[in-house]
Amino acid sequence: MDIQFNKNEDYNKLLLSELKQRFAKVKLGGGQKRIDKHHAKGKMTARERIDYLLDKKKPSIEIAAFAGEDMYNEHGGCPSAGVVVKIGYVSGKQCIVVANDATVKAGAWFPITAKKNLRAQEISIENKLPIIYLVDSAGVYLPMQDEIFPDKEHFGRIFRNNAVMSSMGITQIAAVMGSCVAGGAYLPIMADEAMIVNKTGSIFLAGSYLVKAAIGETIDNETLGGATTHCEISGVTDYKAKDDKDALDTIKRTMGRIGNFDKAGYNRTEPKHPKLNQEEIFGILPESRAEQYDMMEIITRMVDDSEFDEYKAGYGQSLITGYARIDGWAVGIVANQRKLVKTKKGEMQFGGVIYSDSADKATRFIANCNQKKIPLVFLQDVTGFMVGSKSEHGGIIKDGAKMVNAVSNSVVPKFTVVIGNSYGAGNYAMCGKAYDPRLIFAWPSANLAVMSGNSAAKVLLQIETASLKKQGEKITPEKEEELYNTIKARYDNQISPYYAASRIWTDAIINPLDTRKWISMGIEAANHAPIEKPFNLGVIQV
């Protein structure tokens, strides 16, 4: 191993260490004091509930753990958006679990909480995956009600989805394990089956204080909407549990009785580990996002038996396309090649840039994967499409549009891994969030933005200096450097993978060595939902 490999390895493992530290902080939710208060009430935390519910010897993945990070500091913060979401297995059945974290503002819903819940339901709907709600929430966070209540993708969309999912035959199970107030009271009752924990669970449209204010009735919350009331008088809930574990055990038994699902039929053989050492990924991936490297070295350390059948290897070389297996599943891979390549015509193509021939190749390959019913995996490290007169005259816009068309209309499940850069239209063509990947996740080395920090800072600096000069201010070289550094620091914060993850532009930031698990569990989830429409590119310019 050379010195550069060792430097890369040290840098990337420091990024991984930072990821682990930040995740450890997120897992504390509202903090240890609030966790202790939660336990004192005889309640388990959201994460403890999920850990108890999920099968111990099966893998699981967490969706949007960093949602809400640094977004609501003026309101005291909202770690993990106040809700924990995991895909795992209950009684051998793959499902998605959504658990309110009552240590964060009593489980109140911030705008990002609604977005995260909707993302969980979207995953359930796309994959026809059973969903379990562990409810413990004070309802809408009132100081921000205008950003969560009335719009199409706000709080009310949750209940609309409950109804649609029920009509689709998607299993929904709910356990009321704490407060369930106002509009939120509809969520568990719109599930197929609902249970409530005695003494700690409660459901009502208006609590005792509001009832007193509204109609003058004096009543305590337990009599108003506790477990006995809803299991023996109103009939709102189906089961009364003595404590959290009893409720979770009931869910396990219920999930164990669910019948088999219709499979999409994606091809899977016996899984094999890569022959090449996966750990070497840390030394191959450069510290600088501008440095060149061979993406094929990453791919062969990610796929089964390190075996990759490259499609059109000598054509459109700034994109790598080909077939492989990941944890036994057949996949088609579209990846940005990050090294400088020389074409047969003697021309040089820059790594990370999509050229016309590359876009043309990718379009054809995506169509082939759809024809063969093979899921697609996009490995992003892209700076965008090639610019300049030669590219424009050669029809780069037309060829780029063909690729975007193919990605948009693809009917096989798509999975996107943001390894490095994810800039501009390259993000779109390589199946960014707007193009409906079943899962999109990033490595700690990822950057997501319209353009790189350096390029953006230079453009914004020109605008800023021109504005200041119009105001009569003299711009010295020192002043210009100060402005540049200020602008770049602000922009660099926005291209961070944590900035994207906090807004759920990606589903997670993961250890690169967990990539195979994420893709495998994603395809297994997608296998619950048979393809219902044919692949059709629509109108494209040839």
**53-98 residue pLDDT tens:** 999 999 999 999 999 999 999 998 999 999 999 999 999 999 999 9
Q: Tens digits of per-residue pLDDT, 7-48? A: 999 999 999 999 999 999 999 999 999 999 999 999 999 999
**pLDDT interval class at 154 (50, 70, 90):** confident
Torsions phi, psi of 420, nearest 5? -135, -115
**pLDDT interval class at 459 (50, 70, 90):** confident
Over residues 182-188, mean pLDDT: 75
| pLDDT value for 542 | 60
**pLDDT interval class at 223 (50, 70, 90):** confident
| pLDDT value for 179 | 87
| pLDDT value for 452 | 67
**pLDDT interval class at 183 (50, 70, 90):** low
Torsion (CA) 84, 88, 90, 96 in degrees, nearest 10:
50
Helices then strands (H, E): number in the chain? 20, 20
CA dist 117 and 137 (Å) reads: 13
Chain centroid offset of residue 164 CA: 22
**pLDDT interval class at 359 (50, 70, 90):** very high
| pLDDT value for 120 | 98
| pLDDT value for 415 | 98
| pLDDT value for 439 | 98
Residue 224 in this model has a pLDDT that exceeds 90: no
**pLDDT interval class at 274 (50, 70, 90):** very high
- The encoded tokens of residue 260 equal 């088999």
Q: How far is CA 130 from CA 82, 165, 498, in A?
A: 22, 10, 29
CA dist 71 and 3 (Å) reads: 40
**pLDDT interval class at 158 (50, 70, 90):** very high
| pLDDT value for 153 | 86
